[in-house]
Structures are given as structure tokens and as C-alpha cells.
Structure 1
Amino acid sequence: MLKREKTDVLVIGGGAAGMACALSAAKEGVYVTLLERESSVGGVLNQCIHNGFGLQFYHQELTGPEFASRLIDEMNMENVKIINQSYVRDIDVRKRVAQVLSPDGAYEIQAGALVISTGARERPFGSLLIPGDRPSGIMPAGVAQRYVNLENRIPARKAVVLGSGDIGLIMARRLTLEGVEVVGVLERMSYPGGLTRNIVQCLEDFDIPLHLSTTVTEVRGEGRLRSVEVSKVDENFTPIPGTSRNIDVDALILSAGLLPQVEDFSDDLEVDPVNRGFLVSNTCESSVEGVFAAGNNVAVFDLVDYVAAEGWIAGRHAALFSRGVNTSGDRVPIFRGKNIGVLVPGIVDMEEHLRLYIRLRKPMEKGVVVLRELKIEKKFSYGVPSEMIQLVVNRDKLQPLMNHGRLTVEVQ
């Protein structure tokens, strides 16, 4: 029997952004329903048993499960209904009505406001277009992490990691600690893709080599992966003749990047072509009124603390919208200037403080982030694309944008 329910705020996705959102909305005095497809909330935090989380959000260093547990404990003290193992079968984002299946039955949920916090997914092996066989033993770093940390299984005896994203760096260390021989991390760029602290703590501290401007050019194996061919690449990522060599391994761990999970909603909500995630304002509202988005489905953030902070903002504004409180002000678009890659948000709402998250297009020894129309500058030293630059502007300083009708962000 179809259960028809109403909720003030419906949150889809129970990772860091979704939990922070649900908690923030509930603290505004509204009723919140949180949908999570797994058997428990927490998302990828549940398998990230290393520390380094919470330094900004909780001002305390936590592991991933500890970070999730803190949010869960706080949600349990608020008016939040969690439906685990739930799947959104259909949704009308404009009417904010969702058809949901769960072990408890089928629901039709009418929401006053909707928040999408579906996170990101790992780039699959097929998208890398690497020639050769298709044996077992090739897996994303997040899958390897789940095997080891949640299922107590060792996925390899000898492995190579392709891509120097943070999950790959962390898994190079984790596999080494479990007795797996990690022969190296390969990165096709001329610079690492992960945080500097992970390069040091996960590779250098364990004598795991990092090979830059290097990639896998062929995989070989019948049934199980037997070996990979690796080659140096030029600035166009073309393999350099005469540089190929063979490495015997039984696992290829992929750390080739994350992609915002937007497919189920991209027909209705505008997507930023550079971020590849939902276009949102600094209130986290999407291109559809009353529909908000936060976390890695907006852009891939480098810190969970940023994800949770954006979820908190989304929850507060969603709660106010559901109560009929108009918190939206005048808005202007944000444009990318030179050297700007990922940029969040894409729209400035004058009624909220502006929190900018920026990824550089290339490494820079030093530079200045310039908010051209506001005449605001922020200097930095040693900027790399893997580490976001954050800049906060008080809403009292945003009014000059109304005369310009835009904000341009660039790095000089």
C-alpha cells in the first residue's frame, strides 16, 4: 500500500552533506525526512577509517566513522526521519514530490523544500580507454577501500595505483599496511593530484614511489590481471615511444577522479559545465526554486569539512523556504577569469555571505585571487589544483555587485 506523507524538507542522500543538511534544517524547527540507499547513513565516511576529518567543522581531528557518528548522534536529538535502503523511483523536482521504495514499503512524499546531496561516483575503468584484456583485479580505489575497511578482504598481493587522487594515495598506504606490495602510483599529469599531506604521509613515509607523467598503456591477463604496461607521456598525454615497461601485478587500483552524481536530475536542474555538478547560488539553491543541492554533486571538494559546511547552509535555507520565509535577495552570476577551474558557487545571492571555493587550472608558486568588481584580493603561495582555495566575503560587502551585474573571479 502506498504511504502518502508530507515533510517540510526532503533530503536525498545521507553522506556528510545530507546529514549536515538534515541537522541544520531540523534545528530551524521543521520536520525533515532523509533518504539513504545504504543500510545506514554516513556514506563514504563509514569506510574512511583514517583521521584528518572534522578539523574545521568540529574543530577536532576525527576519523570518517567518528565524523559520521557525531552527525548521527546530533540528528537523533532532532526531528529527523531517516529511511534507509530507500530508492527514489521517480521525482517531480518542480512539484517536489518523490516516489520512494524501501523495505518498509512504497512512499509518496510531498516536500516543502528539496535538497539533493547525492555525492559523487568514481570514474570507471571503461572511460579511461586503456587497451588490452578485461580481467578481474581492476577496481576503483573506493571499492578497494570498502573491501579492506568494511569487508575485511585483501583484494591483491601486488598492486599498482593509477592516478594520484587522495583516495588512491590513501589506499596505497592502506594496502601496504595490510601486507600488499604496492609497486607505485602512476600519474599522467606532471604534478600530483592529491593533497600535499597525503603525498607525504601516504607515499613518502612508506617509500612508495610516485611516477609523474606516466600512465598505463595496456592491461594483460586471462581471468585475473597478470601485468600492466606503463609508459611515460608527453604534455598531450601521448605515450612516448621507447619508454614502455611491463610490471607484474594482480591488481590495478584506479584513482582517476570523481564525477558529481547528477544524472537523475540533470534534465531538470542546470549543470555547471566545468564543475560537472549542479549550478547553485551561495544559498545552495539550484536553478529551480525550492530545490537545493550541496556536497560533491555540486563540485568535487577536497575536504569533507567543506561538504558538511555547504550541507549546513543548504539545510538552513531549505528549512526557511519550506516555512514560506523568503531569504532570497538580488542575484548576479559569477564568471571565471583566467586560471580558474572549479568554482563554487555560480551565483551570488546578496542575502547570504559568499563562500568561494576555487581550484586552480595549473600549479602556481604564488598568486593572487582577485574578485574584480569587489576589488578584493587574496594572496597565496604554492597553489595546486588538488587543494581548494577558500575565500569568504561578508554579505555587507556584496552590494557593489548590483552596479556591475556580475562578479568575475580570476587568479593573477
Structure 2
Amino acid sequence: MKQVDIVIIGGGPAGLAAAVAAYDSGVRDVLILERDEQLGGILNQCIHNGFGLHTFKEELTGPEYADRFITQVRDRSVPYLLNTMVMDITPDRVVTAVNRTDGVLQIQAKAVILAMGCRERPRGALNIPGYRPAGIFSAGTAQRLVNIEGYLPGKEVVILGSGDIGLIMARRMTLEGARVKLVAELMPYSGGLKRNIVQCLDDYGIPLRLSHTVVDIEGKEHITAVTIAKVGADRKPIPGTEERYACDTLLLSCGLIPENELSTAAGVTLSPVTNGPVVNESLETNLPGVFACGNVLHVHDLVDYVSEEAAKAGAAAAHYVKRALPDGCDREITLKPEGGVRYTVPATIRPDRVSDQVTVRFRVGEVYRNAFVSVYFDDTRILHKKKRVLAPGEMEQVILTKESLDQYPSLQTITLKIE
């Protein structure tokens, strides 16, 4: 059995940033396992710009952003295995993987970083009536077909769901000569970034129909039309509001699901809200030495935040391997989301292990205007920050300093709420 200090599962933006940070934190024995044929993950098919403004202070395309981190990994001679599928992780960090060159591999790791990313929600999870004709794609699949494979899925397009990938593909399909008739969104608000709504829909005259969904798909061999209808507050279609659109392509952009089958099998506790691991301030799961970062932890809106979070996980894993953590860290503070805050990452904080500050990321459950993000230390409000707009499609954050935590030595609960 091969012995490795840190095994990173996933060679996308999270895995790459974690590897660089672990190496720079003094642990040289790092191995990346990637199931695809190249490093970079989903960024390889994201040829639009808008990446890197926070990390590199310049606007990059997805492949350019990925290449920056791939170069850093190669400059440090961090080894990686491509076309390698991880089959199992045990609670004591034995990783079983398989590829065509080495066959079955068993690796005993001192620390494991989960960076598997996420997948799109399929049609089968949406309960749309109709046959199962050709011409229905997830937005990410269509993105790969257009940007990497060089195929155009269709010419008359309807998009269900206003996630960022769906918005970006509305623009991409338009630029390739297709006609995008509309984007329908079940919720009364968009699931994507405001800038993508403006740049991908408004700039091209593509209508966004909020509180609408697809209620019927026509066609047996190939899709010929869809029917959309307005939905009420209960998210159920309202009779009499149906509209029919002839089309040859339906793209689905209805949410992302963190890839946590390996995590679940290993015994990692998952959040029912994010479907990602429950982690502490070091991004460590309930299994000692198993860390999580990126979209496998919770779905991010910006890859820059993925890299920032992954770097923290990589450094924390390195400290774990080197046993460079202070003793006597039994006290744990629980973070409690309330009043419109859906979840927080991390879910707990051990103040003795906070060196400088903790970034707490969260999402809200609906659109708020001119509201306040409030943080309570037990019953004492220590932060009351006004926000002009809060939306589910955009991740928010607050920063808690070690100094503020140390001022409350008996603190048990930190509550985040919208007021």
C-alpha cells in the first residue's frame, strides 16, 4: 500500500489550489487524483471571461484561470494521476482508486482533501411530463458540446432554469447562431448572478420569465415544442396560463448537486441544506484528517472564492499532517443560521484554532432589499451591516476575527440572520 501525506480527490480549481497551498505550507508529499483526462475540471469548457478578478486582479477565461493553477502545480512538481477514478475512502483515510495503467491502487493518506466538485440536476429529478425525446440537454452538457466538441445542439432553444450556466449558455447559443426563445425560472427570482442576467440575457433581448416552468414536452423521437405555465406561490402550475413554444432543444439549468457519494460512504456527515459536508473553521469534516473545499462543500458563485477556500483547506491539511495544531481545543462554537440565512460554512468554530480570522460564507433563501446582515454572539449583536440587495444566487460572507472571539470566552452560539 502506497503511503502519501495528503491525497486530493479532484483536479479542478479546488483541488489545484489546495495542492499549491499544502505544498507551500511545508508538506511536499501531495498527490492529486483526477478522473478526467486533464487537470482543470469544469473550467476547461468555460471559455467565457469573468474569472480571476479577485485572485489575479485581471479578467481571464476559464481555461486561462485553470492554467494559472496548473502551472503552479507543475512548478512545484506536485504529482497527479489522470484518468483515475476513486472508488472508496475509509474513515481511516485509505483511498482506493483505479486506472488503466496501475490497475487498482490503495493509498494510505495522513490527510484527505475532498474536491470532487458538483454535477447538474437531471431531468429525472424535475418531474416534467412528456416523452423522453432527443434534444434535451443539461446546460453543462450543451456547453461541452459547443465549446469542446464543436457541435451545436440545436437552432431553436428554450432554457429552463436561470442558474449561471443556463444564462451563459443562452448567450453562447445565440452567438453560435441559435435562437433562444426564452429562459423560464420556477422561482420568483433568478438563481444566477445579476451581471450574467444583464450580459447574457438583457444585452441580447432574451426574455426571462420568472415564476414559470415547463409543464409539457412534445415529440417522441426528437423534441418539437414545450409548454410553459406560470406557477403560484406553491410552485404549482396555474391552469390557463400555458404558452407553447416550438423548439428543437431544451436546456436544463436547474441547480447543482455536490458529488458526495464517496463522502457519504466514508461516513462524512452532510448538511441537508447544502448536500455538502459539515465542516469546522479548518474545513475539516467529522472524520479527523478529512477536509472538504469547493463545490463539493457548497455551490459557489465565483471560482475565485473556490480557490480561496481550497487554499485554506490545503493549509489546514498540511498543519494536520505536521501536527502543528494547538492542544486543548475542546471548546466549539456552533454557528446558527436564522431569519433568511439558509446555511453557514463553517458550521462550527474552535476559537483556539483560529490564527487570525474566519470567513463565514452563507446564502439567503429569498431576495431582500435594504436589509441588514446581523451577527449575534449568544444574545449580543456584534455586527449589523446594511446590504442594498441580498439574493439567493449570490454568496455572502462575514469575517470574524480572533480578537472578537477571544473577547467572549464563554461564547457558545454565533447566530447569523437577516433583519
TM-score tier after normalising by the smaller chain length:
over 0.9
Aligned counterparts of 1:382 and 1:59: Cα–Cα separation in 2: 25
- Supply the AA of the counterpart residue of 1:396: E
TM-score by length of structure 1 reads 0.96
Q: Which residue of 2 aligns with 1:281?
A: 280
Deviates more, 1:324-333 or 1:348-357: 324-333
Q: Which residue of 2 aligns with 1:407?
A: 414
TM-score by length of structure 2 reads 0.95
Deviations along 1:196-230, whole A, 9 cap, x unmatched? Answer: 00000000001111111111001111211111111
Aligned counterparts of 2:408 and 2:256: Cα–Cα separation in 1: 33
The 3 A distance-change label for structure 1 pair 140 and 341 is same
* Distance apart, 1:91 and its partner CA: 2.0
Aligned counterparts of 2:26 and 2:362: Cα–Cα separation in 1: 33
1:28 and 2:25 aligned: yes
* Distance apart, 1:336 and its partner CA: 1.0
8 Å Cα contact 2:112/2:291 also seen in 1 = yes
Equivalent positions of 1:61-140 (< 5 A) are: 61-92=59-90, 94-105=91-102, 106-140=104-138
* Distance apart, 1:307 and its partner CA: 0.8
Q: Which residue of 2 aligns with 1:15?
A: 12
Equivalent positions of 1:227-246 (< 5 A) are: 227-246=225-244
Aligned counterparts of 1:71 and 1:220: Cα–Cα separation in 2: 45
Unpaired runs of at least 5, structure 1: none
Deviations along 1:51-95, whole A, 9 cap, x unmatched? Answer: 111111222211110110000000111141110000112221x22
Q: Which residue of 1 aligns with 2:291?
A: 292
- Supply the AA of the counterpart residue of 2:369: E
Residue 388 of structure 1, aligned match among 379, 395, 404: 395
Aligned counterparts of 1:201 and 1:143: Cα–Cα separation in 2: 21
Unpaired runs of at least 5, structure 2: none
Residue 368 of structure 1, aligned match among 361, 369, 372: 372
The 3 A distance-change label for structure 1 pair 286 and 171 is same
The SS at the match of 1:153 is coil
* Distance apart, 1:401 and its partner CA: 5.0
Report the identity percentage: 40
Aligned counterparts of 1:281 and 1:327: Cα–Cα separation in 2: 15
Aligned counterparts of 1:282 and 1:26: Cα–Cα separation in 2: 20
The SS at the match of 2:66 is helix
Aligned counterparts of 1:405 and 1:199: Cα–Cα separation in 2: 41
Deviates more, 1:126-135 or 1:389-398: 389-398
* Distance apart, 1:327 and its partner CA: 5.0
Q: Which residue of 2 aligns with 1:332?
A: 333
Q: Which residue of 1 aligns with 2:151?
A: 153
Aligned counterparts of 1:252 and 1:127: Cα–Cα separation in 2: 15
Aligned counterparts of 1:78 and 1:7: Cα–Cα separation in 2: 16
* Distance apart, 1:254 and its partner CA: 0.3
The SS at the match of 2:124 is helix
Q: Which residue of 2 aligns with 1:343?
A: 344
* Distance apart, 1:402 and its partner CA: 4.0
The SS at the match of 2:26 is coil
Aligned counterparts of 2:295 and 2:153: Cα–Cα separation in 1: 27
Aligned counterparts of 1:342 and 1:140: Cα–Cα separation in 2: 27
Aligned counterparts of 2:409 and 2:124: Cα–Cα separation in 1: 46
Aligned counterparts of 2:98 and 2:386: Cα–Cα separation in 1: 50
The SS at the match of 1:296 is helix
Aligned counterparts of 1:271 and 1:113: Cα–Cα separation in 2: 19
8 Å Cα contact 2:89/2:262 also seen in 1 = no
- Supply the AA of the counterpart residue of 1:222: K
* Distance apart, 1:104 and its partner CA: 2.2
The SS at the match of 2:393 is coil
The SS at the match of 2:129 is coil
8 Å Cα contact 1:321/1:327 also seen in 2 = no
The SS at the match of 1:301 is coil
8 Å Cα contact 1:53/1:64 also seen in 2 = yes
Deviations along 1:157-206, whole A, 9 cap, x unmatched? Answer: 11100000100000000000000110010011112111100000000001
8 Å Cα contact 2:18/2:315 also seen in 1 = yes
Q: Which residue of 2 aligns with 1:194?
A: 192
Q: How many residues align?
A: 408
The SS at the match of 2:76 is coil
- Supply the AA of the counterpart residue of 1:326: L
Aligned counterparts of 2:76 and 2:236: Cα–Cα separation in 1: 55
- Supply the AA of the counterpart residue of 2:82: N
The SS at the match of 2:294 is coil
Residue 174 of structure 2, aligned match among 173, 176, 179: 176
Deviates more, 1:309-318 or 1:184-193: 184-193
8 Å Cα contact 2:87/2:262 also seen in 1 = no
Deviates more, 1:374-383 or 1:39-48: 374-383
Runs of 4+ in 1 over 2 A off after TM superposition: 327-331, 399-402
Deviations along 1:228-269, whole A, 9 cap, x unmatched? Answer: 111111111111111112111111100000011112222401
8 Å Cα contact 1:45/1:68 also seen in 2 = yes
Q: Which residue of 2 aligns with 1:309?
A: 308
- Supply the AA of the counterpart residue of 2:342: G
Aligned counterparts of 1:43 and 1:256: Cα–Cα separation in 2: 20
- Supply the AA of the counterpart residue of 1:21: A
* Distance apart, 1:278 and its partner CA: 0.6
8 Å Cα contact 2:52/2:65 also seen in 1 = yes
The SS at the match of 2:31 is strand
